[in-house]
Amino acid sequence: MMRKGLLRFLGSLFIVLVGYYVYTVIPQMQAVSVPAVETPSQIKKVADLHEPSNPAATKKGNKVYAIEENPYADYYKLNSDYTGWLKVNQTNIDYPVVRGEDNAYYLSHNFYKESDVLGAIFMDYRNVGMGYDENLILYGHYNTHNQMFADLEKYLEKSFLKENPTITFHDPYTERIYEIISVHVAPAESTYIQTSFEADEFEQYYNKVKSESMHEIDSAFEPEDRLLTLITCNYGVEDGRLYIHAREIK
């Protein structure tokens, strides 16, 4: 009798493990596929031409100006929630960024709005983008196969931070470079995800995250600063998050 019960238990356990592998492990191993885009250095600016060679051109005085489509326009066609492109050197982080109507949808949907356990890299729905926010926040899942924001874990090592101190975020019109000011692990708290501030709150926030950094980084607050905060899960503490804070280099 006991033997039959044990066999039934082992059979049930096997079914659970197979289900976990099929519905969790395999989806996490899938490749994250997003069409390639021209790098910012390849983006052409409006040309000042003396002879018209572009069918989409306009003449002003004795000069002809070429009109070229924004090279990121195709991403808007694929997903109207597209808001920019994020790249971190020496990592797999090279993804489009979207913004939903809340901070839940893109936890379980990819760039194509398909159900996906990997989700997408997404901007906090309260953010405006394009340099208007005091603190621009981007979220991404931690994944054991180094996809999405898993490689942010590399910044736990001071040597990696020293070699890769900047993050690039290209919004629809501008390439923005951010220099890291803080790397820290802490429980998920609303105090770390403020997007706007009153009076001296912004300086207090800046000094708070800087003081909590696990690496000593030389930087001082300036009133005109604009911050970028990247957030992913970290299991070093209960309900933990890894926070990377960086400020825009003007």
pLDDT at 18: 46
pLDDT in the model for residue 25? 45
The ranges of the chain with pLDDT < 70 are 1-68
Q: What is the pLDDT of residue 19?
A: 53
Q: Is-catalytic flag, 233?
A: yes
Distance of CA 93 to the CA centre of its chain: 8
> pLDDT tens for residues 208-225?
999 999 999 999 999 999
Assess contact for 86 and 168: CB atoms under 8 A. yes
For residue 172, the model assigns a pLDDT of 86
Q: Which two tokens stand for residue 39?
A: 């790098």
Return the DSSP state at 44: P
Q: Which of 66, 177, 214, 233 is flagged as catalytic?
A: 233
DSSP-derived pairing of the beta strands 94-98 and 121-123: parallel
Q: What is the pLDDT of residue 189?
A: 87
What's the distance, Cα to Cα, between the start and end of the chain in Å? 75
| pTM assigned to the model | 0.76
Q: Is the dihedral angle over the CA atoms 88, 206, 216, 235 positive or is it negative?
A: negative
> Hey, what domains does the chain have and what are their CATH numbers?
37-69 (no CATH), 72-248 (2.40.260.10)
